[in-house]
Each structure stands twice: as C-alpha cells, then as structure tokens.
Amino acid sequence: MVIDRSSEPGSGSTGRATGGFRAQFGSAINIRLSLMAREKLLHFEEETGVDPGFEQTGYLFLTSSPAQLDRLRLVNDLQRHHGVGEARIIDAREAAALNPAIDEGSYIGAAWSPSDGFLRPLEILRGYSEAAVRMGVRFESGTEAMAFEKQRGHLVALRTNRGEIAAHTFVNAAGAWAARVGEMAGVDVPVVPVRRQVAATVPTTALPSDMPMTIFADDGFHLRVRDGRVLLLWPDSARVEDPFETEVDDLWLKEVRRKSDARVSLLRDVPFDREASWAGLYEMSPDRHALLGTTSDASNLILVNGSSGHGVMHAPALGQLASDLILGRPPQLDIDPLRPSRFAEGKPVQLIELL
C-alpha cells in the first residue's frame, strides 16, 4: 500500500524535476546507482508498458578555469574506473561542436558523456504506479502519515487522518518531508529541504531541441530545452525564511538572466516567462547521498530518502534495492555506503562535488 497526503501522485518534488539523467557523478556509489538505473530505464517500457522518455542526448560540463578542468579530469577518472567508459574530457573545440549554441570563449574545456540525458519524471511515476496496481498495490491519496505505534523498537501500525494501517514493514519515501515522518517513528532522518528554482523562457526555437544538458561547472548554471522552452537553473544559496517555501524569487530570475546573457547570446532576445517558471524542493542529506536501509531505532522502517536532487534518476535503482531489502534478498549492488548510520559513525560518503 502506498499512501500520499496530496491529492495526486507526483505533487511533491517529482513533478517539479526537470528530468536530467547522468552517470557523471563524483562518487563510486552514485555512479553505480546511475548505471543500475540506466539499465532499468533502457528496459522500462518492457517492464511497465510506459515509455519513460529516456533520451541519451548527453551531459556537457563546461569550465573556464584550469583548476576546475583538473577536477573534472579527476572525476572523469573515477567514472571511467567504475564503468562509464564513454565519459571523457574534451577540448573547447569539441565542446563547441557538441553545443554550438553556447558562446565560445565562455569555457576552455569540458567533461562529456553521450550516454547521459533526459527522462520524463511523471511518466516514470506513472509506469511504476500502474505496474504496481496491476500487481495488487493500493494507492491512497489524501492520506497523511501522523504517528507510528512502536513496540520495543519495532513499528506495528501507522496512524493516518483516515485510520490506522498495520504492516510488517514500513518505508519512508517522503522526499523533502522525510525528517518529519522519521520523527514520528523516533528515527533521526538528517534530510532538509532546499529550494531549487527553474526559469522557463517563452516558447522558442532559439536553441535546438536535441541540445545536450549543458552545465557551467564553475557556478552550477545550467540549461536544457524541454517541450519547446529553454529551462535555466542556477543553485543559489540564498537563505529562505520558510525552508519549505517554493515561490520563484525575482532577484534570482534577474541573476539567471544576467548569467544567460553573458554566455548564451542566442537567448538574449528570448524573454523568461515568469508564470511558466517554478520552484520545488531538493531533499538534501549531509553528504548529498541517499539514505537506504533501517536504523536501530526502528528495525522495520526502511529509509529511502535524501537523494539530494537526484531522486528521479536514481529511483529505478533505489526502488529495486529497497524491495530487495524488504524481501530479504541480497541487494544487486553493495549498499553499505548508503547505510543511514554512517553520519552517527562519522563516515559520510566521500565525493568530489560536480554540481
């Protein structure tokens, strides 16, 4: 049984994701999760009957700094070591050929992987939920988790606004709200919300629809084309009074405009559409990696939390691994690095940050 307090599935962060997929990560475990997810995405339609919209148009990480290029090289070595042989470091000329829409002179080199790309978050949600319903899963919308009944470190029932649910195993999949659900079970889930905003242009053909995801690694500014608009993102660190706030900020839009004008001349005359722009929440963990597994505070509460902004692309892998845990099957990859206790042990996942 899946419960969600909202009226419609996907109204948390999943419906607000822009739909990027990459295996170009800076830690072994994230690379492995991506490769496992990629395999499942390639067979998603066979498995669920729904096209996940997986398009391998590539991810291009540009940089204008020699030090950052060295970092990209270091991360690239890690990726190649863990099986992403197609990812490589390229010079500015090759980067210009891969994305001629970006002003030359705004970068000196890049990391590139042609097997990264895009997916459709709500189609993935639809594929999995329709397949689950066929297999007997019940979905209850408008049902809010409120408190757990616990006996000797074991959860026996969940109280909701629509009655009590008894179960053998519970899963916390509450995205940016995971800490609150954890608290109900007496489990510390170190996941905090972080607002992420997306600027959308008016409908335009200024940039080609098959343009790769293009990221300026120096400040995280990135852009892609989706459904006839250009989407532009930049992870600002402005403090928001209410951490669950999801309004788009005008000052942020102005800064994104400035960054875009300085690097993408082709977009200078294309206005942003404020109404079509949006914001949502990342579910950040302290080391920016997912938590997967149980804790000694509640032995039958499985945490699948804290993907830190990669939760759609990693969902096919994390869902499979969580089901392995529930069924007592050996997981298909070593998930020890994601054990929730790592923070208390002082052993967070080590990563070379890319974004």
Ligand X SMILES: Cc1cc2nc3c(=O)[nH]c(=O)nc-3n(C[C@H](O)[C@H](O)[C@H](O)COP(=O)(O)OP(=O)(O)OC[C@H]3O[C@@H](n4cnc5c(N)ncnc54)[C@H](O)[C@@H]3O)c2cc1C
- Helix or strand run (H / E) with residue 148: strand 145-151
> Is 106 one of the binding residues for ligand X (CB under 6 A)?
no
What is the nearest approach in angstroms of ligand X to the Cβ of residue 245? 12
| 69 vs 282, beta carbon nearer ligand X | 282
Segment (H or E) for 166: strand 163-166
Q: Indicate which single residue of 144, 219, 261, 353 sits in contact with ligand X (rule: CB under 6 A).
A: 144
Gyration radius from the chain CA atoms: 21
Q: Which stretch binds ligand X (CB under 6 A): 11-19, 26-34, 63-71, 100-108?
A: 11-19
Task: Select 232 or 281, whichever has its Cβ closest to ligand X.
Answer: 281
Q: Which of 171, 181, 199, 292 binds ligand X (CB under 6 A)?
A: 181
Place of tokens 């992403």: 84
Q: What distance in Å separates the CA atoms of residue 169 and residue 323, rounded to the nearest whole number?
A: 11
Q: Which of 314, 310, 317, 315 is nearest to 333 (CA)?
A: 317
For residue 312, state whether it binds ligand X (rule: CB under 6 A).
yes
Greatest alpha-carbon span in the chain: 64
CA neighbor of 309 nearest in space, from 16, 68, 59: 16
Instruction: For residue 171, state whether it binds ligand X (rule: CB under 6 A).
Output: no
Residue 44 lies near ligand X (rule: CB under 6 A): no
Mark the segment that binds ligand X (CB under 6 A) among 44-52, 131-139, 169-177, 287-295: 169-177
Question: Binding to ligand X by residue 280, rule CB under 6 A?
Answer: yes
Q: What is the distance between the alpha carbons of residues 247 and 133, in angstroms, rounded to a whole number?
A: 34
The number of residues that bind ligand X (CB under 6 A) is 33
Does residue 6 interact with ligand X by CB under 6 A? Answer: yes
d(CA 264, CA 75): 26
25: three-class secondary structure by DSSP: coil
Question: What is the rounded CA–CA span in Å between residue 172 and residue 105?
Answer: 47
Question: Does 59 interact with ligand X (rule: CB under 6 A)?
Answer: no
Choice from 3, 33, 87, 102 touching ligand X (CB under 6 A): 3
> And the tokens for 323?
């089901």
Of the residues 84, 87, 98, 174, which one makes contact with ligand X according to CB under 6 A: 174
Using CB under 6 A as the binding rule, whether residue 14 contacts ligand X is answered as yes
Residues lying near ligand X in the complex (CB under 6 A) are found at 3-6, 11-14, 16-20, 144-145, 173-177, 181, 196, 198, 280-283, 307, 309-313
